[in-house]
Amino acid sequence: MKTFRILLLTGMLLGMGTAGAAEDPPESCRPKVAGTALALAGDAEKAQMQCDIDRAAHLVARSARLQPTTLRPAIRIVDTASPSGAAYIYDVIGAGPSFWLEARSVPSEDNERSRVPVCKLSMALPDDVAKPLVGMLATIGSMALPAYGRREEVTINPDGSRRVVLLLDTHDIVTTIETPGKVQQFSRHAKASDDIARINQMIIGVANISDGWTCNAD
């Protein structure tokens, strides 16, 4: 099978996350040497994974200050970027077969609070999402899934060849899943297509089409 690779330069520096100039990035996201990547090639994915986890933790902490919550979700998805300037946190509560979704926006920077409204959504996941989610959660813990997903978008051409686009922008989604006996964390690009990405897309997709969002401009 033929594979074509295309380098797509759509973002900022690789590995730098989306932190803006007005706010210092987490320590784990700062380049070790000026003008270089986060770490040597052998450690780059591990370093980037820690950076993404820390970026997500900063957003969760900021959200907790704006909208306090005591939720302990089975799945937490942190979408670190959106065109509006907000990030989004999606908490899936329950053990199945039914789940409740609590979603909320959070400014990607503290200085964006005056421009980006804080919005929230509470809803039951529809059955056509909840049912496959039960099966996926039952198997995630036993699957050998990488914590840090490859930044590639793969499409199959009509002739059966694959088109692989290397994604160097920084639209990262960090997913935390409670599986039997352990908590697992994953980082995926928004255009990824593996099992973790499919969970992200199912949950985010439901929230995106909901008319139940309420927003507070304060």
Q: Name the residue among 99, 63, 96, 81 with its Cα closest to residue 190.
A: 81
Pair 59, 79: CB distance under 8 Å: no
d(CA 44, CA 31): 11
Residues 35-61, mean pLDDT to the nearest whole number: 79
Q: Say which DSSP state 25 is in.
A: P
3-state class percentages of the chain: helix first, strand second, coil last, to nearest 5: 30, 30, 45
pLDDT digit string (tens) for 72-106? 899 999 999 877 778 999 999 998 789 999 999 99
d(CA 146, CA 171): 18
Q: Name the residue among 20, 23, 116, 118 with its Cα closest to residue 66.
A: 118
The structure tokens listed for 163 are 């088109």
Asked if residue 37 has pLDDT above 60, the reply is no
Q: Is the model more confident about 38 or about 174? A: 174
Pair 186, 145: CB distance under 8 Å: yes
Q: Name the residue among 108, 97, 101 with its Cα closest to residue 71.
A: 101
Mean pLDDT, all residues of the chain: 80
d(CA 169, CA 186): 18
Q: Which has the minimum average pLDDT: 3-12, 79-88, 138-147, 180-189?
A: 3-12
pLDDT of residue 2: 41
Q: Containing H/E element for 216?
A: strand 214-216
pLDDT digit string (tens) for 127-160? 999 999 998 888 887 888 899 988 777 778 888 8
The per-residue DSSP string of 35-55 comes to TS-SS-GGGHHHHHHHHHHHH
Q: Give the Cβ contact number of residue 3 at 10 Å.
A: 9
What confidence category does residue 199 fall into, taking pLDDT thresholds of 50, 70 and 90?
very high
Q: Specify the 3-state DSSP secondary structure of 127.
A: helix
Global pTM reads: 0.80
Judged on CB neighbours under 10 Å (0-12, 13-18, 19+), 5 is exposed
d(CA 110, CA 91): 22
pLDDT of residue 71: 75
